[in-house]
Amino acid sequence: MAGLAAAFGSGAMTNSIADIEKAGCIFIIGSNTTACHPLISRRIYRAKERGAKLIVADPRGIQLSRFADVSVHHRLGTDVALLNGMMHIIVKEGWHDADFISQRTEGFDELSQVLDRYPPNRASSLTGVSVGQLKEMARHYATYGPAALLYAMGITQHTTGVDNVKSCCNLAMLCGNMGVAGGGVNPLRGQNNVQGACDMGGLPNVFPGYQPVTDPEVRAKFSAAWKKELPAVPGLTITDMVPAMLEGCLKALYVIGENPKLSDPDWNHLHHALKNLDLLVVQELFLSETAQVADVVFPAASVAEKDGTFTNTERRCLRIRKAIEPVGDALADWQIISRLSSAMGYPMEYGSAEEIFEEIRQMAPKSYGGMTYERLGIDGLQWPCPSTDHSGTPILHTQTFPRGKGKFHGVDYQAPAELPDEEYPYALTTGRMFAHYHTGTMTRISEKLDNEQPTGYVSIHPEDAARLDVAAGDPVRLSSRRGEMEAPARITRSVPIGTLFLPIHFGENPTNVLTSAETFDPLAKIPEFKVAAVRVEKLPVEKEL
């Protein structure tokens, strides 16, 4: 989000899901949309049927690659070089939108200077994408407008994540694809309420509605409403909390609905950090890997057992409704937090989720002020929705950007923090598969979903498999500088030679034993899950006698 905020002044999907069907061209980079966001991929196929062009850039061969007009497999972590190479060609051919650039943006000179350094030959040698393919990508994106750009964790989970996002914004502004139907820069959020968690101030530096904790006026407003003096110094990100636990500065951690033991980088590192805590409280549906090491576990109600709202990836606030009573003694998360808060001497006496929503409207008026439970109905409303007569905002930045003019950033390519070498010759990347979700706590216990994919696996190219003498299903050991794990091999041409892919859902094959907690984007603090160097060994197959 930091990259989007730097370019536009706010961080969210700029257009809407339905709007994708209006695109003349759809450019997908770092998103395996059919697996991770199936009902968005449906819009992509519908647009394609209508004649839209499709560009897919992904280090792996994904389902959408097969339907693309231009499909490229760039080297892991070379997104900036790829995008700069495209923009170099667009400017050279005069396909950019000079009117949009002069009226709506600033910093174009800074960008042009950087682009000069990315002629097709250099971009091609950095990314492994041929000059011909680069030209086709540039031509399709720039000449079949409006072009929608879609990305996901393949762009953000890198040491250069913020740079990658800035480059996506550069490309969209260069061709005047902002503020128009069928265009935009569209990050696809991985979890159902990531957008809402950010909107509600679930971040160390901002209150609800992205109001900075360092701003005295903002702090005074929240202090008055909450009747409490509030801390002025931004807090620790999750990436900073782990070292703080190891050093003994962070003594207690209250984890609500998260399973960091499987989702955080570097499992060994985190395992020691959690053990070092005086108090670990976990609020969960299941006894997850993290809950298993907790001191106190609170049983939480599921989505069907409570009222509330989620805000989806297109900024649409949607109501969930209580359908059944919670199992056992489980309570809705808001009820548990209220009880704990009251016991701590700060009474929270909300009678319903709607009462809390009314407080949110007051405290984040620009985005949520005009929403009420009644107005949300079934279809919801897209923020910003500042007043009760406002019908919501399907497309952002139609007239101006929140920061005024859109800002181009000259961004140079930097190699990933860890590249394959002699000792660890393979590049490892991670991701999701269609039947499972995140750390698997909700999907792996479903018989039907478990049938689709019961175990973890590692994807490996046939040539690499032949070199290692590995057959399909053989167990292999993967080791990195952090640790080692085992998984059965799946032999597939969907990964390039020298690259391995691991799905993240399986606790018995924990991907994060291998990935690094030391390498993360310096600004956004997103760990580099998408590139790590590993070694592969074949394990002896246990023969049944």
Partner 1 sequence: MECKFVPSVCSYCGVGCGVLFKVVDGKLTGTLPLKTHPVNEGRLCVKGWNIHDFVNSYLRLKSPLIRAFGRFIKTDWEEAIKITSDRLKDIVRQHGPDSVGVLVSAKMSNEENYLAQKFARAVIGTNNVDHCARL
Residues in region 214-233 near partner 1 by CB under 8 A:
222, 226, 228-231, 233
Based on the number of CB atoms within 10 Å of its own CB, is 508 exposed (0-12), middle (13-18) or buried (19 or more)?
A: exposed
By CB under 8 A, tell whether 302 contacts partner 1: yes
Q: Is the peptide bond before 384 cis (omega within 30 degrees of 0)?
A: yes
171 binds partner 1 (CB under 8 A): no
Query: Please, which residue, 92 or 438, has the CB nearer to partner 1?
Result: 438
Nearest CA to 181 out of 146, 144, 151, 212 is that of: 146
Least Å distance, CB 63 to partner 1, is: 13
384 sits near partner 1 (criterion: CB under 8 A): no
Q: Which of 176, 155, 150 is nearest to 82 (CA)?
A: 155
Q: Given the complex with partner 1, which of 72 and 162 has the nearer CB atom? A: 162
Among 340, 415, 417, 468, binds partner 1 (CB under 8 A): 340
CB of 223 to partner 1, least distance (A): 9
Q: Minimum CB separation from partner 1 for residue 33, in Å?
A: 10
Q: Which phi and psi (to 5°) does residue 469 adopt?
A: 60, 45
Per rule CB under 8 A, is residue 527 in the interface with partner 1?
yes
Beta bridge partners of 487: 476
- Which listed residue (61, 190, 243, 498) binds partner 1 by CB under 8 A? 190
For the residues of 478-508, what is the DSSP string, one character each? EE-SS-EEEEEEEE-TTS-TTEEEEES--TT
Q: How many CB atoms lie within 10 A of CB 54?
A: 22
> By rule CB under 8 A, what count of residues binds partner 1?
142
Write out the binding residues for partner 1, residues 31-60 only, by CB under 8 A: 36-40, 42
Question: Minimum distance between the CB of residue 372 and partner 1, rounded to whole angstroms?
Answer: 13
Least separation in angstroms between CB 309 and partner 1: 5
Work out how close the CB of 416 gets to partner 1 at its nearest, in angstroms, rounded to a whole number. 17
Among 163, 264, 266, 528, interactor with partner 1 by CB under 8 A: 264
Q: What are phi and psi of 481, to 5 degrees?
A: -65, -15
Tokens (6 digits) for 422: 């002699």
Kindly tell me which of 103 and 446 has the beta carbon lying closer to partner 1: 446
Q: How far apart are CA 1 and CA 523, in angstroms?
A: 10
With CB under 8 A as the contact rule, the residue among 215, 295, 508, 537 that binds partner 1 is 295
- Does 517 sit near partner 1 (CB under 8 A)? no
**160 is a site residue for partner 1 (CB under 8 A):** no
**Residue type at position 516:** S
Question: Whole-angstrom distance between the N-terminal and C-terminal Cα of the chain?
Answer: 56
Q: Which stretch binds partner 1 (CB under 8 A): 104-112, 292-300, 463-471, 531-539?
A: 292-300
Binding of partner 1 by 320 (CB under 8 A): yes
CB of 489 to partner 1, least distance (A): 25
Is 510 a binding residue for partner 1 by CB under 8 A? The answer is no
The whole-angstrom separation of Cα 153 and Cα 429 is 11
Q: Which of 258, 296, 295 is nearest to 276 (CA)?
A: 295
Does residue 12 touch partner 1 according to CB under 8 A?
no
Q: Applying CB under 8 A, which of residues 452, 463, 484, 508 lies at the interface with partner 1?
A: 452
Give 48 or 88: the residue with its C-beta nearer to partner 1: 48
SS (H, E, C) 340-369: HHHHCCCCCCCCCHHHHHHHHHHHCHHHHC
| Cβ neighbours, 10 Å, residue 250 | 18
Q: Amino acid identity, residue 141? A: Y
β-pair partners for 150: 28, 186
